[in-house]
Structure 1
Amino acid sequence: MDKPSGSGEGVHILLFPYPAQGHMLAMLDLAHHLVLRGLAVTILVTPKNLPSLRPLLAAHSSIGTLVLPFPHHPSLAPDVENVRELGNAGNVPMTNALGKLHAPILQWFRSHPSPPAVIISDFFLGWTYHLAQELGIPRIAFYSASAFLACMLNFLWPNVASVRSLSAVDFPDLPRSPSFAKEHLPSIFRLYREQDPELEFVKNGMVANMSSWGCVFNTFRGLEGENLDHLRKTVAHGRVWGVGPLNLGAEIERPGHVEIMSWLDECPDESVLYACFGSQKLMKRDQMEALASGLERSRIRFIWVVKPITAQQAENGYGSVPQGFEDRVSERGRVIRGWAPQVAILSHRAVGGFLSHCGWNSVLEAVAGGVMILGWPMEADQFVNAKLVVEYLGAGVRVCEGADTVPDPDELAGAIAESMSGGGKMQKKRAKELREEAVEAVREGGRSWLELEDFVREVAKL
């Protein structure tokens, strides 16, 4: 996004990201765009999440930080402050622990000479709506997730009692009237049990999102126009902005990976499959073996990003890359342990497919790179995103599904080979078209650019 108007008039806002990779990166990209538009930004983090801010703080020395100690929670180890160390199941204790920051934030506001006039917080932090009410300022919900998910949650939470017993849930009022099997509904909703105080806290926060002053989405019209329109009609205030993909045009310097980029430079166009399942998901041993075997038998070039595991996790049945695998595939495959420069890899001309869990950040990064998705949704909002990408947008195929599913290696290999060669022609074409639409959206005068300008103008009035 270029040439912003600078219309923020120095209004001070507090940004509160949720400490999970996809949530955090998106909000830091939002912070970058808001500063460029003249808003004064303070970002709230706990100490161990401060390093994630380094690239942004290096780009914008004007950004302030509010670092508060991470509150104790009986289910969390003392050194854990990010969901990547916990997996999807860690969202409930994490949200509850962060809820204990209510009083320290209140105290900080009341002692600040020029406190923020607005709070923008992740949709997992809906409790900040009540905090903002206490302070007499607006709270804006930032969705580091799809508008499709928000449409579903806005129906599910008020209808818990009638929906709980169903084996499949229909959404007749949503665009395209989707239907989801019970086990494919968002995890945060499926986990809910009445009378459990921690789950009630999560539910109340999610419901509070609907009452917030406005909602900002990391999505764009070409991807989700009908869902954004639906939200504008159904949310009482109508203040809904689609300003994404925020990672396009953020241009914040992030570390590279010289060896892997050099290897990609040697590969033919669209010949490489990139396989990565996000920062939270660990796979069981038999899943890792099946995936390794599928990649090997596919005969396709690949980069496979693997989350390293501890000795304790290995003992609990989680897997790592099978012994000897890397030697056998060294001619055409690379394994990266830990962090990978995903945006740079997906934007490389040699990459033609992305084997993904369909987390929202990964979906947007695939769109920004113009790369088709080979979906393996597992949990959280991933089945929702997979339906959007595969069925609605036609920019991907589904190769597997389920958190505990062990794919048949031959079937997986066949699906990979088929998609990466002629069989995925339509999906590849559609992915490239979506990339064009995304680039157009964030360009000056594009729809996301205009919505971001409008959002900043509205915030400046506050």
Structure 2
Amino acid sequence: MNSTSATKPQKLHIGLFPWLAFGHMIPFLEVAKHIARRGHKVSFISTPRNIQRLSKIPQNLTPLITLVQIPLPRVENLPEYAEATMDVPIDVIPYLKIAHDGLENGISEFLQTHAPDWIIYDFAPYWLPPIAIKLGIKRAIFCTFNASTMCFLGSTAPEVTSRYAPRTKPEQYTVPPEWFPFPSKLCFKPFEAKRVVDGLMTPNASGMTDWFRVESTYQGCQVYFIRSCREIEGEWLDLLQDLNQKPVVPTGLLPPPVQTSDEDQHDNSWSRIAEWLDKQKKGEVVYVAFGSEINLSQEEFNELALGLELCGLPFFWVLRKPSHRSGDGDTVKLPDGFEDRTNGRGLVWTTWAPQQKILAHESVGGFLSHCGWSSLIEALQYGRPLIMLPFMYDQGLIARLWNKKTGIEVSRDEESGWFTRDELARSVNLVVVHEEGKPYRDGAKEYRELFRDKELHDRYMDECVEYLERYG
């Protein structure tokens, strides 16, 4: 081998297989683009409908990224069009997991035929590591959650878990776990803990618990990539490595690039939104968005709407009907007279909205959010303080981590999770305009530089690719 070929890493073929949720697929696609920018070949694997709904691959990367479509098997209780979590209510997601498990043959065939050097996968395919091991394919997990959440959930390494009693009751999740070696108040509230035990530790229609999937996929990997960075989660990243007995390599936050209007096919939408935002006072608009998967009850929805009315501030509310709610009979409705009473001050937007462009607009003074990790990253990229109203999964833990740093969590009844319009209105006003909320506004601005530091986060991703090169 001559000296030039010794210093130049070989070109790899890397497969990526995310879970069937856009909160997972989008960060996985960002990872795919970074790998391709380094000259490696990427196969991004998902189902046909999901692949059609992804954003376009930049033209310079299309020769290196192949979008591999594996049809999702038909499963009883799963609607024909449903290929992602946003397509179904939360109680139907276990059937999506059954269909996902039906991708095993397609994935196995792909791995045998194409023999990638690495497969980077998600928490769900417990059956994938044994297939890859048999074929001699290297294995990496990419965790789209943050490090503190994964530390709270616990270890997947048998040599570590044997030291701690298993947590099977909700009350065990309402206190910080015994393996935290440093002071922390990170834990779930009682109403969240019940959902976590039901959702994570209880077997669902797929015949297994989600935690079994996590344990199996994480034990089967050789390296643990995670969407985090040392600047905000250094001690958690160290603990995560101790807990799982695997090399943990952060990908950085993968902050999305700001879209330009000429590449935005929804440009007409943006011009109408921008026209409305331009008329508002600087730093006073409350941007309201809860992602594509939160299904509020009519009672919660009423409190949210009436809280926005009560706060007296201008608001821009993205209110997209979930795709699984096709008829009018099963969808929530705005309170009677709400739109008339808030006309001119509030805008309820019922189609796609360019979240980053809205957050970047100078009239936006706060973000009322469910606290999904991707949404929080986008908000802090633009220095927008948060009014946090978490509903499911890791959102409560994320809210605890950022509460009083960059905004506040809306107070709720800890047993039922109930919040009131008065409490919501008070929290919104405090964060956006009141003098006592200035530390939160300042805190969000302080984090802005770190969250939008593209060079920093690209360096993290470069280190991940170098890891793949070194061990590929």
Instruction: Please give the range of the TM-score, normalised by the shorter of the 2 chains.
Output: 0.7 to 0.9
Which residues of structure 2 form unaligned runs of 5+? 1-6
CA offset at residue 194 of structure 1? 6.0
Q: Does 1:173 align with 2:163?
A: no
Count of residue correspondences: 447
Query: In the alignment, which residue of structure 2 is the partner of 1:139?
Result: 139
Query: In the alignment, which residue of structure 2 is the partner of 1:202?
Result: 210
Q: Classify 1:195/1:299 alpha carbon distance in 2 versus 1 (closer, same or farther; 3 Å).
A: closer
Amino acid at match of 1:31: A
Alpha-carbon displacement from aligned partner over 1:171-224 (angstroms, at most 9, x marks no partner): 132243434345434955532566667252633320024321112222222332
Contact 1:88 1:380 in 2 (8 A): no
Q: Does 1:162 align with 2:159?
A: no
2:431 maps to which of 419, 425, 428:
419
Separation in structure 2 between the aligned mates of residue 126 and residue 301 of structure 1, nearest angstrom: 47
Amino acid at match of 2:427: A
Separation in structure 2 between the aligned mates of residue 288 and residue 166 of structure 1, nearest angstrom: 26
Q: Using CA pairs below 8 Å that are at least 6 residues apart, which structure has the higher relative contact order?
A: 1
2:305 maps to which of 287, 292, 311:
292
Query: In the alignment, which residue of structure 1 is the partner of 2:21?
Result: 20
Contact 1:372 1:395 in 2 (8 A): yes
Q: Classify 1:205/1:84 alpha carbon distance in 2 versus 1 (closer, same or farther; 3 Å).
A: same
Separation in structure 2 between the aligned mates of residue 96 and residue 202 of structure 1, nearest angstrom: 12
Contact 1:7 1:457 in 2 (8 A): no
1:301 maps to which of 306, 314, 323:
314
CA offset at residue 344 of structure 1? 1.7
Contact 1:92 1:202 in 2 (8 A): no
Amino acid at match of 1:245: L
Q: Does 1:455 align with 2:459?
A: no
Contact 1:245 1:438 in 2 (8 A): yes
Amino acid at match of 2:290: F
Query: In the alignment, which residue of structure 2 is the partner of 1:3?
Result: none
Q: Does 1:322 align with 2:335?
A: yes
Q: Does 1:92 align with 2:98?
A: no
Separation in structure 1 between the aligned mates of residue 233 and residue 198 of structure 2, nearest angstrom: 24
Amino acid at match of 1:218: R
Q: Does 1:232 align with 2:246?
A: no
Contact 2:141 2:224 in 1 (8 A): yes
Q: SS of the residue aligned with 1:273? A: strand
For 1:118-133, what aligned pairs fall within 5 Å after superposition? 118-133=118-133
Query: In the alignment, which residue of structure 1 is the partner of 2:3?
Result: none
Q: SS of the residue aligned with 1:215? A: strand
Task: Report the RMSD for the aligned CA atoms in angstroms.
Answer: 2.8
Query: In the alignment, which residue of structure 1 is the partner of 2:4?
Result: none
Amino acid at match of 1:416: V
CA offset at residue 414 of structure 1? 2.1
Contact 2:255 2:452 in 1 (8 A): no
2:442 maps to which of 402, 426, 429:
429
Query: In the alignment, which residue of structure 1 is the partner of 2:230?
Result: 221
Q: Classify 1:224/1:185 alpha carbon distance in 2 versus 1 (closer, same or farther; 3 Å).
A: farther
Q: Classify 1:58/1:334 alpha carbon distance in 2 versus 1 (closer, same or farther; 3 Å).
A: farther
Amino acid at match of 2:14: I
Amino acid at match of 1:19: L
Contact 2:169 2:197 in 1 (8 A): no
Q: What is the percent sequence identity of the aligned residues?
A: 28
Separation in structure 2 between the aligned mates of residue 384 and residue 426 of structure 1, nearest angstrom: 21
Query: In the alignment, which residue of structure 1 is the partner of 2:410?
Result: 399
Separation in structure 2 between the aligned mates of residue 235 and residue 311 of structure 1, nearest angstrom: 40
Separation in structure 1 between the aligned mates of residue 19 and residue 202 of structure 2, nearest angstrom: 24
Q: TM-score, normalised on structure 2?
A: 0.86
Contact 2:258 2:357 in 1 (8 A): no
CA offset at residue 237 of structure 1? 2.7
Query: In the alignment, which residue of structure 1 is the partner of 2:36?
Result: 35
Q: SS of the residue aligned with 2:152? A: helix
Amino acid at match of 1:173: W
Q: Classify 1:90/1:371 alpha carbon distance in 2 versus 1 (closer, same or farther; 3 Å).
A: farther
Separation in structure 2 between the aligned mates of residue 93 and residue 119 of structure 1, nearest angstrom: 25
Q: SS of the residue aligned with 1:167? A: helix
Separation in structure 1 between the aligned mates of residue 42 and residue 319 of structure 2, nearest angstrom: 35
Q: TM-score, normalised on structure 1?
A: 0.88
CA offset at residue 82 of structure 1? 1.0
Contact 1:7 1:460 in 2 (8 A): no
Separation in structure 2 between the aligned mates of residue 280 and residue 311 of structure 1, nearest angstrom: 11
Separation in structure 2 between the aligned mates of residue 80 and residue 186 of structure 1, nearest angstrom: 27
Separation in structure 2 between the aligned mates of residue 265 and residue 245 of structure 1, nearest angstrom: 30
Q: Classify 1:171/1:150 alpha carbon distance in 2 versus 1 (closer, same or farther; 3 Å).
A: same
Contact 1:220 1:245 in 2 (8 A): yes
Q: SS of the residue aligned with 1:319? A: coil
CA offset at residue 362 of structure 1? 1.1
Deviates most, 124-133 or 67-76? 124-133
CA offset at residue 380 of structure 1? 1.0
Q: SS of the residue aligned with 2:154? A: helix
Q: Classify 1:329/1:368 alpha carbon distance in 2 versus 1 (closer, same or farther; 3 Å).
A: same
Separation in structure 2 between the aligned mates of residue 39 and residue 331 of structure 1, nearest angstrom: 51
Q: Classify 1:403/1:99 alpha carbon distance in 2 versus 1 (closer, same or farther; 3 Å).
A: farther
Q: SS of the residue aligned with 1:123? A: coil
Contact 2:44 2:66 in 1 (8 A): yes
Alpha-carbon displacement from aligned partner over 1:378-417 (angstroms, at most 9, x marks no partner): 11111111111115xx112011458975532233222212
Separation in structure 2 between the aligned mates of residue 312 and residue 48 of structure 1, nearest angstrom: 18
Which residues of structure 1 form unaligned runs of 5+? 1-5
Separation in structure 2 between the aligned mates of residue 403 and residue 88 of structure 1, nearest angstrom: 21
Separation in structure 1 between the aligned mates of residue 301 and residue 124 of structure 2, nearest angstrom: 30
Query: In the alignment, which residue of structure 2 is the partner of 1:190?
Result: 198
Amino acid at match of 2:21: A
